[in-house]
Amino acid sequence: MSNDQHVVIGGGGGFIGGHLAADLLRQGYTNIRCIDIKPFDEWHQVHDGVENLQLDLSEKGNCYEACDGADEIYQLAADMGGMGFIELNKAKCMLSVLITTHMLMAARDRGVKRFFYSSSACVYAQDKQTSEDIVALKEADAYPADAEDGYGWEKLFTERMCRHFREDFGLETRVARYHNVYGPDGSWEGGREKAPAALCRKIIHAKATGDHDMEIWGDGKQTRSFMYIDDCLKGTQMLLHGDVTEPLNVGSNELVTIDQLVDIVQEIAGIKLNRHYNLDAPKGVNGRNSDNTKIKAYFDWEPNIRLRDGMAKTYAWIHDQYMAKYGATASSA
């Protein structure tokens, strides 16, 4: 695929969208449009050489403006966050269905060639995720449907809508089920951050203040896999430009418990903390991992950046952000 394509990134002011725009610029793309509802000073990254628009993509007219002249669309825009956010904002998460509905309609009517939708591992049936000792989730495990309430149901419904726009209208839709994407330039405080960033912040705070007590949501035994942003970007573009029309897992299969993730961050930080487990906090399902059989069969590739390596880069970035914001006050606490 040539890099003179007109590419639109819905949610371009978000974590993944900002990294995607940077990656496309590195590849020499010259016609990129990023759209996000947030004011520009709240975007995770703002790039020169990109058409940046502040628009609410839940509004149909804005989606037609966003898709005007587009060849390819990466639809990443959604109202979402980590488990603490999605468990407490189910209606907000489900309203994201308006964004992709209107983006699909606009893409169809504007003659867009390819449309990527970022789905989630939250589509998977909850009865397959009740134990920490899990079998990795295959794509077929989304049915019979019993998705994560709110956010997961919105993602699963929208996957089906993408399929039917392809079948009924010929719009080439592609769907990835992301598994816990993390890395620098993401949310690290404020309530929308995910576990890797939240744990980095807590450990950095402990080290800066000398308060060596930290709270962990759940019992620490929950199992997850975490995918570094660079792997996410590669898998995303591979799917959009490939011929696979079914939803595919895009996630690491390096399974860890939350306690093991804490171990990794503590080792990076050079500190050991006293762990206190909050069993009443949102913690999600007990076990979840990505079965990568299909993506390996189709593309001879799977996400492969080691968690320890990705967390070292993420920790360093969050450390700099934390110290720039709180350094003086933290050290005097």
By annotation, the residues acting in catalysis are 151
User: On the CB side of 252, how many CA atoms lie within 13 Å of its CA?
Assistant: 23
Q: Label the pairing between strands 227-228 and 181-182.
A: parallel
268: closest CA among 328, 309, 325, 323? 309
What b-and-e string marks burial along 156-184, b requiring 16 or more CB atoms within 10 Å of the CB?
bbbbebbbebbeeeebbbbbbbbbbbbbb
Residue with tokens 């990109």: 50
DSSP conformational letter for 93: H
Q: How far apart are CA 318 and CA 327, in angstroms?
A: 12
Cβ atoms of 279 and 218 closer than 8 Å:
yes
Dihedral sign computed on CA atoms, order 93, 277, 214, 120? negative
Selection from 119, 36, 107 nearest residue 72 by Cα: 107
DSSP 8-state assignment for residue 257 = E
- Tokens found for residue 22: 């940077």
